[in-house]
Amino acid sequence: MPTLMSTKMTSGGQTTVPKEIRTSLGIDADSRVYWTLDGTRAILTAEPVLPNEVASEDEFWRGIELAMRDVRSGSLRDAAEVSEDIRKRLGIA
């Protein structure tokens, strides 16, 4: 069962990553961390997610087709638009 931990957000948008998490992920004082927004959850990782990593040519072309389908459906959003939406939801716009 996962362990739930909480930290407080400062007015400047900063928070402390708990020691147990830093140790587990190998995050040191000068480490960079990566955030992924997955619906209503933010995921913290010590290494960036590489969405372009593929194991086969078939997997590559499947990814291209999925991306093209997203473009055609209009379900993609500009990064600046997503950032603005997040700021509004957090009340820091």
Q: Is it the case that residue 12 has pLDDT exceeding 90?
A: yes
Q: Which residue has the tokens 């069962």?
A: 1
pLDDT of residue 16: 92
Distances 9 to 47, 48, 79 between C-alpha atoms, Å:
23, 23, 23
CA 47 to chain centre: 11
Segment 68-90, tens digit of pLDDT: 888 888 877 778 888 888 888 88
